[in-house]
Copies of this chain bind each other. A is one copy, B any other.
Amino acid sequence: MYYALIMAGGSGTRLWPLSRQSRPKQVLKLVEERTMFQHAVNRIESLFHPERIYVVTGAEHATQLMAQSPELAPDHFIIEPEGRGTAPAIGLGAVHIRRQDPQAVMVVLTADHFIANADHFRQVLKAAAQVAQEGHLVTLGIKPDSPFTGYGYIKQGDSLEVVDVFPVFRVERFTEKPDPQTAIQMVKSGEYSWNSGMFIWRVDRILEEFTRQMPEFYTHLSVIEATLGTPTYEATLQRIWPLVTKQTIDYGVMEGARDVVVIPVDIGWTDVGSWGSLLNLLPTDQDGNILVGPHIGIDTHNCLVFSSKRLIATIGVQGLVIVDTDDALLICTKDREQEVREIVERLKQNGDDQWL
């Protein structure tokens, strides 16, 4: 059977002040009246029965996420005592799914990406599941529309096959976030995709990779797996998890894995990781503005103005990101929006927890 594992941890500091420690971006309604997490669930509901959808998240956000998707049973939320990176989260999800079905194909999805062409995306998943069934580890590669330096890149190797209309390539290598010059070359060559963080594989295959490449973690994981469905599961997880080393799936598994393939796709994918990404995503008015909440503008152009209920008046400004919340306000030029992270860092350093 096919199972989905939605990764819904993390906090998204670059969407401060809207995203906070207690209110991460996946629980926010950023696009089209549903939260990012609800989009992630709704997008795949026609492919997966709710009984075959799992969510990995942190204890601090589990309640909010459960409330947002009542169709998912509470025991389908796999709750990490604390975040240890994507590799342990996926490993934990994998043993939960193996318990349901040792032959399962597992689709790893994210809760903080927007996908404009959901129909096409579901077609891709069906094809990818067929490829995974054969034993390949499938990554979805996003055809890049710019030499963005904030993502990892995947280099296509030889063509393996074409499933439905989708060409499948062997992965030649994973590349870390490149410098601008390298990124330009990579995009020009047509041989690279962005690493989307979405994967499709048989659960036995990925656990085999964990055994081989992260044996210490796999030992921990086995202890936890042995208690699944028993009253001691929770206590065991609480005891073991702090011993787990932080690791990403890319470093920890994918870069050294056998038989990795990539399907480069064009599904209208956006990483909603920063205010700038929302500017590309949401429709603008005739002045190039995106306006949420009450606003009066005089000569205001190419701005994102995001308010809850307070009135925002702007005069003679352009290219600004303005985000207003109950207790904090951000005003930032578009080209500097990556530095929002620094604001959050400074708040941490200053011990200004009320704004985190």
Contact = CB atoms under 8 A, between A and B. Distances in A.
B296 A336 contact: no
Contact of A333 (B17, B317, B327): B317
Given A315-B336, A320-B317, A298 B342 contact: yes
Interface stretch (A103-111, A191-199, A256-264, A305-313): A305-313
Nearest to A343: B313
A322 B328 CA distance: 13
Interface in A293-331: 296, 298-299, 307, 309-317, 320, 322, 324, 326-331
A302 to B, nearest CB: 14
Contacts of A333: 315-317
B343 A331 contact: no
Contacts of A324: 329
B298 A336 contact: yes
Interface of A is mostly: mixed
Nearest to A327: B310
A310 B314 CA distance: 18
Interface string A259-283: 0000000000000000000000000
B296 A346 contact: yes
A313 B275 CA distance: 14
A166 interface: no
Nearest to A309: B327
Nearest to A330: B313
Interface in A334-356: 335-337, 339-340, 342-343, 346-347, 352, 355
Given A316-B336, A332-B317, A327 B298 contact: no
A307 B342 CA distance: 21
Contact of A343 (B298, B332, B335, B340): B298
B312 A329 contact: yes
Which interface residue of A310, A331, A333 has the most chain B CB atoms within 10 A? A331
B328 A313 contact: yes
A100 B123 CA distance: 92
A327 B311 contact: yes
B315 A343 contact: yes
A336 to B, nearest CB: 4
Contacts of A317: 320, 331-333
A300 to B, nearest CB: 9
Given A298-B336, A313-B343, 5 more contacts: A17-B311, A309-B327, A311-B329, A312-B329, A315-B333
